[in-house]
Amino acid sequence: MSALLAVFAVVTWQVLADGPLLGPDERLGLELAGRGPAGLADLFADLGNTQVAVPVLACAVLLAWFRGARRAALYGVAVMAAVPALVVPLKLWTDRQGPLTDATGYYPSGHTATAAVAYGAAALLLAPYVRRSWVALVAAVLLTATTSTGLVLRGYHWPLDVLASWCLGAVLLLALRAALRRAGTRPPGGPRAGQLPK
């Protein structure tokens, strides 16, 4: 977790200070913007919309709740609520301009953070109830990577915006995993709700 926070801090500092990492980041972002089929890239980017990602987490939360893992379900809700609570002030503070617009408030990527936390938290909550829990975790990573790719290819975000949100999302998910392990409630007829694959 320390490494993730360190990367996030360095990238945020570079954005605030208009540091040397921004030049290569912006060149790469402009080089990638507009690449690939626009419709497909838009579809990928939309996977990070709250209307798409949050219902996936809501289903996992409801399953955990009705299986008796109510504390785990509440932790899932709390970690999702932390995304806008962290991202919105950061956007206002950094005030970074977007790739293909004069508008600001693009750092970090809210869509990437939403995808990472919604899909990742859903995978963690479902882990005690599925036979191959690693499949859900891989799916969460792929959905987040797909979202990130779409955002950069459509020119909605710079690559560093996306990287920062990966770090932020991973920190929140590690905190959720630790909380689920501490909760350790046992659903009826199943493993402990906080038990995760090794």
pLDDT interval class at 133 (50, 70, 90) = confident
CB 96 within 8 A of CB 161: yes
Residue 142 scores a pLDDT above 70: yes
pLDDT interval class at 1 (50, 70, 90) = confident
* Residue boundaries of the structural domains of the chain: 2-183
Say if residue 55 is preceded by a cis peptide, omega within 30 of 0.
no
pLDDT > 90 fraction of the chain, expressed in percent and rounded: 83
pLDDT in tens, 74-123: 999 999 999 999 999 999 999 999 999 999 999 999 999 999 999 999 99
pLDDT of residue 198: 41
For residue 80, the one-letter residue type is M
pLDDT of residue 8: 97
pLDDT in tens, 6-52: 999 999 999 999 999 999 999 999 999 989 899 999 999 999 999 99
What is the C-alpha separation between 77 and 69, in angstroms, rounded? 13
CB 94 within 8 A of CB 18: no
What is the C-alpha separation between 143 and 45, in angstroms, rounded? 10
* Length in residues, the chain: 198
